[in-house]
Structure 1
Amino acid sequence: MDFGLDETRSAVAALAAEVLARDDTHWPDLVRAGLVALAMPLRLGGDGLGVLETSLVLTEVGRRAAALPALATLALGVLPLARLGTHAQQDAHLCAVATGDALLTAATREPSVSLPAVPTTVARRDGDRFLVSGTKIGVPYAAEAAQILVPATIRGGGVAGVLLIAPDAAGVRLTPTSTSSGMPEYTMDLADVVVSAGDLLGRDPSGQAARELNRFALAGACAVADGLAAGALDLTTEHVRRREQFGKPLATFQAVAQQIADVYTCARTLHLAARSACWRLDSGRDAGYDLDVAAYWLAEELPAALQVCHHLHGGLGVDAAYPMHRYYSTGKDLARFVGGAGQRLDRLAAVGG
């Protein structure tokens, strides 16, 4: 299968790479370039594009290991709202994101499990509203976001819906938690948070919105990981080409060449797995198995490959002022975001069984 990019997608990738080429790139730079609005509806000034184009932006963010709210806002917020939200929900929340006045995120993780199909967080019907209670962990940019997409099991229905909740709503408590990369994350405790029926994403209580949100989350994480692997490989290859030991470039040593080859294999496999999953999701095909494979590769192989890159940099690799530190720490956070290798392997086994 040919995963080459057409003219529009090549232009998106090139623009994202150009904007992110500067070390001082900030979120408003992506907003001004129109990269945040790619998947938004045309009627709201967006480009009406989809998952694959958004994934190209996320890959370039990963390639630079840029500390930006791209995964949270684009994959966890813009994509589900653009694909699943009602016109009223899109109008209320996407316009401010397109102008750079708001961020979005989603609470896809719970204690001991990431992206659960049946969340322990519960939404009880109370007339024409819901009362939402539960605990979410590792919510990226929760305090900074205007809205948080919160999957919850609808009591009495047995399926999950996704509710739009403001971080400052009554009954919401956010507790900052540590990350490897330093990017903000929070534990989100909800105690009978009142949510109107109009804030149920897509007004869909069937469980489809929650399933799609989980797929967007995995696709976004894998796209960022694709860029991380490629960026770390480029950085390490250049280092071993220039760095000399015993009067010879490190790249000429057989052991070093073998280790770089292993990192290359990881990077190319992750690229293919992530691109395949995003393409299937973008085209409306069943992307579940492809996403599970890509997420497992992210959780199992990416941290090991980045560790090799650290090793090949020697002491320079652990200097927090050197870029390698950003790649490794962000990779650790992504592996945790998708649930870790054990959870991803269990998921693959369940699908295969």
Structure 2
Amino acid sequence: MDFTPTEAQAGARDLAARIFGDLAGHERLTAVGTGSDPELWKALSTAGLIGAVGELGLLGLVLLLEEQGRTTAQVPYAAACVYGRLAVLAHGGPEQRERLLPGIDDGSLVVTGAFPAQQGVRASAAGELTGTVPVVPWLRDATHVLVADAGRRLWLAPLGEGTATAPVELTAPWSAARLTLDRAPAEPLGGPGAYADVLATARTAFAGLQAGVCAGSLARAVAHTNTREQFGRPLATRQAVQLRAADAHLDTEAIRVTAYEAAWRRDAGLPYATHALTAAWWASEAGARVVHTGQHLHGGAGADVGHPVHRHFLWGRQLDAHLGCGPELLQELGESIAHGE
């Protein structure tokens, strides 16, 4: 394995870091509130950072999502790239790719995903969807939604005829909504195996996002404890603080390296479902520990909902919930290994 980014991946990562750094600072995020930032979304699409994912691969996307996570930038980048760009590129037919990819790349067509498979969603023989999905992240920003039905088949549905949405507030400001489908027209995307691939891709990508969230939280904690003095000494000189920060650093690196491995394996055409589950488990279990540490090391300031580190806490806990709690993921991973998957 070689996780060294290519020149193109490194260049895209650096460009993403500049855009997120310029347009997702604390003051701007405060002004945006709980919604998404259309100016930032336009900047990302204009810079080609959505369309480039096809050439950069999943490892390249993980690198870009790390940069988003460091700033907790409020745009549906992960969802649009995973459920839109990569899903259509990997599983769409020639006509679907020709019709859908240009809009995805320029940011005018935003796809989010109702994942994992929804037991309450049924598809008719004519491809009409009926059912309810209680929570779909970024649905308020989307033009289309990729739905996995009870039979684990993928359907791409435009929001409009036969669909209704109602805003839902999550722990993190992810512009989520409840989706109700009433004979909504949809088109199939891919065949057998498409659902498993998109699910594993999503787990890997959101683990990469969590690695960035944790790195950003820890960086803020390090800066705070190096400048905040207690009894005439910086907090960072205290052994208990050092040990807590060291554990958080190791957890963050574990999330990062497992996400990198899963992404690298997908790009190399190797089986990666169990590796994606491993990355998701680390992101869920260790991610919660890291963002708690980041908040704790800020002392009372960390409990201030207006403090920048609190946003990392909210994102970390939301990603924990979105990926699935640690014990559930561990059980699924154990069952996959036991069945030789």
TM over 0.5: yes
Matched, 1:264 2:262: no
| 2:104 aligned partner | 97
How far does residue 120 in structure 1 lie from its aligned partner after superposition?
4.3
Alpha-carbon separation, structure 1, partners of 2:161 and 2:266: 33
How far does residue 284 in structure 1 lie from its aligned partner after superposition?
1.4
Residues 262-341 of structure 1 mapped to structure 2, 5 A cutoff: 262-341=247-326
| 2:10 aligned partner | 10
| 2:133 aligned partner | 136
Which region of structure 1 is more displaced relative to structure 2, 340-349 or 291-300?
340-349
Matched, 1:74 2:81: yes
Alpha-carbon separation, structure 1, partners of 2:310 and 2:40: 19
Alpha-carbon separation, structure 2, partners of 1:186 and 1:340: 21
Matched, 1:160 2:152: yes
Alpha-carbon separation, structure 2, partners of 1:137 and 1:281: 30
Contact 1:73 1:105 (8 Å CA) reproduced = yes
Secondary structure of 2:56's counterpart equals coil
Gaps of 5+ in 1: 41-47, 109-114, 154-158
Which region of structure 1 is more displaced relative to structure 2, 226-235 or 16-25?
16-25
- Quick one: which amino acid aligns to residue 173 of structure 1? A
Matched, 1:200 2:188: yes
How far does residue 251 in structure 1 lie from its aligned partner after superposition?
0.4
Matched, 1:175 2:166: yes
- Aligned residue-pair number: 324
Contact 1:135 1:190 (8 Å CA) reproduced = yes
| 2:34 aligned partner | none
Contact 2:169 2:176 (8 Å CA) reproduced = yes
How far does residue 64 in structure 1 lie from its aligned partner after superposition?
1.2
Gaps of 5+ in 2: 29-38
Contact 2:85 2:105 (8 Å CA) reproduced = no
Identity %: 28
| 2:232 aligned partner | 247
Alpha-carbon separation, structure 2, partners of 1:290 and 1:168: 37
Secondary structure of 1:256's counterpart equals helix
Match of 2:65 among 58, 64, 68: 58
- Quick one: which amino acid aligns to residue 162 of structure 1? L
Secondary structure of 2:149's counterpart equals strand
- Quick one: which amino acid aligns to residue 94 of structure 2? H
1:182-229 alpha-carbon deviations (Å, 9 max, x no partner):
22112212233233xxx2113x2x2x1111121121111111011111
Contact 1:142 1:167 (8 Å CA) reproduced = no
Alpha carbon RMSD of aligned pairs, Å?
A: 1.7
How far does residue 326 in structure 1 lie from its aligned partner after superposition?
1.4
* TM-score under structure 2 length normalisation: 0.90
| 2:122 aligned partner | 122
How far does residue 328 in structure 1 lie from its aligned partner after superposition?
0.8
Contact 1:121 1:132 (8 Å CA) reproduced = yes
The structure with the largest helix share of the pair is 2
Secondary structure of 1:143's counterpart equals helix
